[in-house]
């Protein structure tokens, strides 16, 4: 294939391949370093000997983070949050984005409602009003306290409505001529053609719920209800010695902040690294291409 290109074109492509390969290496090296650090001994990490391969291989950091029952409880809480929160986000995102994608002639109040949502990105009520809202709605110390305040991710709404507006209008007009209503058009025309956008915002919603830790700390009254990231933040980063058992104190002789934080980072990122390849294939698919035929 390359022999049909001019010399300047081959040079350009070669530069791109080398540049992207170097960029990929730069992106993956920190992950390899964190993984090597998490499997290294406390002394080796403290002395700065760990680069891209574990030194004095040990699982002490993972044992320190994972041996408690509270760790597994926090995983269950996080899984519940993702399983419930992501469908809620997706449903509300779709229901908000569909009408806002219409033209002003079809939805006269479109601009008003669109700016109503955009204002929430530019201005916020602050932490105290949000906390009081959650408290007086009676959802404190429950799973809904971590789901409902962010149930409508406005950034995802903007992404999806822009994708909806890019779909061929002939598809919608043809559906209406065949007697379809808005619900049928949305679920049987728009959504099947929007898989790349839906996969993207699904990934955003999943990462957001999985990585969130601050709301778990402020809304949960009991550490037993902490999601995974809140648990790791409290136990690994803050290290409240009064809450540690004798076995935990013993583990401190083999674990330091660097190795424990490395284990925390890798455990927190691992599920997303596993899920992403299954969604990534949708990003490059041009599902809309060829959907309108002459």
**Residue 63's pLDDT is what?**
81
Dihedral of the alpha carbons of 63, 65, 70, 74, in degrees to the nearest 10: -130
Q: Which two tokens stand for residue 12?
A: 């350009």
Packing angle of the helix pair 69-100, 154-165 (nearest 10 deg): 40
Residue 283 confidence (pLDDT) above 60? no
Instruction: Indicate the DSSP class of residue 166.
Output: T
Residues in the chain: 294
- Name the percent of the chain lying above pLDDT 70: 86
Hey, how many other C-beta atoms are within 10 angstroms of the C-beta on 38?
A: 26
pLDDT in tens, 54-113: 888 888 888 877 777 778 888 899 999 999 999 999 999 999 999 998 888 888 888 899
Per the rule left: phi > 0, alpha: psi between -120 and 50, beta: everything else, 129 is alpha
181-215 per-position pLDDT tens digit: 889 999 988 998 888 888 888 888 988 999 888 88
Q: Going by C-beta distance under 8 Å and a sequence separation of 6 or more, which residues neighbour residue 172?
A: 185, 189, 190
Please answer whether residues 159 and 121 qualify as being in contact, where contact means their C-beta atoms are separated by less than 8 angstroms. no
141 and 221 in contact (C-beta within 8 Å)? yes
pLDDT band at 287 (very low <50, low <70, confident <90, very high): very low
d(CA 84, CA 64): 29
Q: Looking at the domain that runs over 62-283, which CATH code has it been given?
A: 1.10.3720.10
């Amino acid at each position: 294939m390359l022999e049909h290109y001019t010399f300047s074109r081959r040079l350009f492509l070669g530069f791109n391949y080398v540049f992207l390969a170097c960029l990929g290496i730069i992106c993956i090296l920190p992950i390899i370093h964190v993984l090597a650090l998490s499997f290294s001994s406390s002394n080796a990490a403290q002395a700065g000997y760990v680069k891209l391969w574990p030194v004095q291989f040990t699982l002490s950091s993972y044992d320190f983070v994972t041996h408690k029952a509270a760790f597994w409880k926090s995983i269950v809480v996080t899984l519940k949050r993702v399983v419930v929160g992501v469908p809620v986000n997706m449903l509300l995102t779709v229901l908000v984005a569909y009408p806002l994608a219409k033209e002003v002639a079809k939805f006269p109040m479109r601009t008003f409602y669109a700016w109503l949502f955009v204002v929430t990105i530019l201005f916020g009520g602050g932490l105290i009003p949000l906390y009081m809202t959650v408290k007086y709605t009676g959802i404190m110390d429950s799973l809904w306290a971590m789901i409902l305040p962010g149930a409508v991710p406005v950034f995802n709404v903007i992404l999806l409505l822009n994708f909806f507006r890019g779909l061929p209008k002939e598809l919608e007009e043809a559906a209406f001529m065949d007697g379809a209503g808005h619900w049928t058009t949305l679920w049987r025309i728009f959504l099947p053609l929007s898989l790349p956008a839906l996969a993207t915002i699904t990934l955003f919603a999943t990462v957001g719920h999985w990585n969130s830790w601050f709301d778990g700390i402020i809304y949960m009254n009991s550490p037993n209800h902490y999601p995974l990231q809140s648990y790791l933040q409290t136990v690994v980063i803050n290290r409240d010695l009064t809450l540690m058992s004798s076995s935990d104190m013993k583990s401190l002789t083999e674990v330091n902040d660097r190795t424990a934080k490395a284990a925390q980072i890798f455990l927190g990122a691992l599920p997303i690294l596993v899920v992403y390849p299954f969604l990534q294939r949708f990003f490059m698919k041009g599902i809309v291409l060829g959907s309108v035929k002459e």
